[in-house]
Structure 1
Amino acid sequence: MVPTIAQLVAADEYLSHQTANTFDTVATEDLSWTEKVWFTLARKDGTLQASFGLGKYTNRNLIDGFAGVQIGTQQRTVRASRVLRPCLDLVVGPLRYEIIEPMRQLRLSLAPNAAQPISYDLVWTAHAPAFFEDRDLGYAAHRNSSNVVRYHQAGTVSGWIEVDGERHHVDPEEWFGFRDHSWGVREHVGSDPADLPPAVTSKIAADYQFNWFVSCLSRPDGSRYELAYYFREFREPRGLDWFTAYINEENGRQIPILQIHPELTYRKSDHAVMGGRIYALMRGEGRRTVERVFEVEALDSEMGFRLNPGMYGAWKGQIHGSYMGEDFLDGECIDNVNDPARFAASRRWEIRDRPLRIREGDAVGFANIESIVIGDWPAATFV
């Protein structure tokens, strides 16, 4: 466990938090207070990917979410939003989130809807414990902009997905998935107030890179472990803005990583991660350090569910946590999410859930990376 965060309990599965910790006292009136769940799910052969997210904004009296499916380069996304009270359940439009067994089994469903001809009924099952990242503390525009705790978890999924009348069976032996659950004050919730001076620094305008990476590997003896890290970095003098990294063992042990050095290859046309190596520097005995090397490659060259249509960043006048009416439903089909013109129009289009294969020695598994690379960085190669 992370020393600055209280221990998880079953109640922490539910979207009822009001402080940036496990069940502690409510301590903020900030309108950016958010509690979110997110899932990325993929077939191991790279032919189909699904995504789901739900956000509860207690101080905004709103709940919203998205669900989507990608096949090849085609992504279909459904978005829904409603006023939170008086109905406090975890249903928004055709999206439903259900806790079957805390920390172990969850149900995600997208009912048939008027926005897109997609639906699904999926049960996600954990095959590893949930692990915290370090507390995410951010400072921007002369204020404390984020104070978020987040845990993630690896698992598999079963059920069915229907796209344009064709039903796909989801076999847990053929699928993998990751999820996270976060709560606290975070950036980019709702529209910025119009009566403030413009921010001095914009991540999207400056030379900037970030990776958010989760994985699960299996050793030959059947035991599992994770490489998980997250960093945000600007050019000097600001430099490294945020860093958290751990090797997580299935017995619950979290081993801190001193430094992460990803040498990744990106496709030049849309900055999709194609593969590479991730070097993790660990503490050894005495003054020694130990380097661990992980090899990654894209599960499929075209796959990578874009998060911008899921309201991560402004999209069609929408952003998560914004009031869109008493009961709002929207969606679209994008035939080629990898079209370079979309990337050229908005750098936020670069952010996607990119499924990967991962290997360390005899241990193999699957991973997911979200990334942005703006400017020239020595460890980033473009092809």
Structure 2
Amino acid sequence: MIQSGNYSGSFTVRGEVHEVIDWWGQRDHSWGIRDHARCPLWMWLAIQLPDGMLGVWNWEYPNGARVYTDGCFAPADGSDPIPLVEFNHELNWIDCAGNPVGYERDGTDAHGLAGRVEIRLEGGARIGVEGEGMCCTSYGPYGGGLHLLTVHTDDGRSGTAIYEVTGAYHHHFFPVPRAQNLPPGSKSL
């Protein structure tokens, strides 16, 4: 479950309290433990827009074939969520200057994520989202990490997003395998 909305309260860093008033935010409240070493590509997107939020979960095999994709648009007015029926991504790792880079084995030069995702909802609505942002949490030996992005939709909406991209081996995101016992047909260490 993704919880999106406005957050107020405080947080403390090195003993200094910082107040937060009406910040947009998302949190992933999913249950269980992801077995990163067995997951070729796991992608989670929480896209906050003024009129609602898009949540996407996507898991792929190393060759890009889909294992699982789910999500929805949850309107801010509390009306029923609209299920996602199609998802496509054209995302790339970027360096500190915003230039595309390869992840290679350990993502040494990958400091952020940029590109486009396209979402089709039940009923036919299509939403194109362009985004760019930097990594806020690297997953080290597990690959990838959590990224904070600014986003803009084809119809002119702007917002913020969290994109989590992680995995052990994927033709585009993680071209060098970092685990053993990957799903059938995968390369291993």
TM-score (norm 2): 0.68
Query: Is 1:369 matched up with 2:163?
Result: yes
The CA distance in 1 between the partners of 2:29 and 2:36, in whole Å, is: 24
Which segments of 5 or more consecutive residues in structure 2 lack a partner in the other structure? 95-102, 176-189
1:150-171 deviation line (CA, Å, top 9, x unaligned) = x221123334433334x25323
User: What is the one-letter code of the residue matched to 2:132?
Assistant: E
Equivalent runs, 1:215-254 vs 2, <5 Å: 215-218=47-50, 224-235=51-62, 239-250=65-76, 251-254=78-81
1:261-285 deviation line (CA, Å, top 9, x unaligned) = 111121333445421111112345x
* Aligned with residue 132 of structure 2, among 297, 301, 318: 297
The CA distance in 1 between the partners of 2:7 and 2:122, in whole Å, is: 35
Distance verdict in 2 for CA 1:168–1:275, change over 3 Å = farther
Which segments of 5 or more consecutive residues in structure 1 lack a partner in the other structure? 1-150, 189-201, 219-223, 309-342
Equivalent runs, 1:331-342 vs 2, <5 Å: none
Instruction: Give the deviation of 1:215 after TM superposition.
Output: 1.8
Query: Is 1:276 matched up with 2:115?
Result: yes
Distance verdict in 2 for CA 1:159–1:241, change over 3 Å = same
The CA distance in 2 between the partners of 1:381 and 1:235, in whole Å, is: 9
The CA distance in 2 between the partners of 1:290 and 1:161, in whole Å, is: 38
The CA distance in 2 between the partners of 1:205 and 1:180, in whole Å, is: 21
The CA distance in 1 between the partners of 2:4 and 2:25, in whole Å, is: 6
Distance verdict in 2 for CA 1:170–1:240, change over 3 Å = same
Larger Rg: 1
Instruction: Give the deviation of 1:349 after TM superposition.
Output: 4.7
Equivalent runs, 1:296-315 vs 2, <5 Å: 296-298=131-133, 301=134, 303-306=135-138
Q: Is the 8 A contact 1:266 1:381 kept in 2?
A: no
Aligned Cα root-mean-square deviation (Å)? 3.1
TM-score (norm 1): 0.37
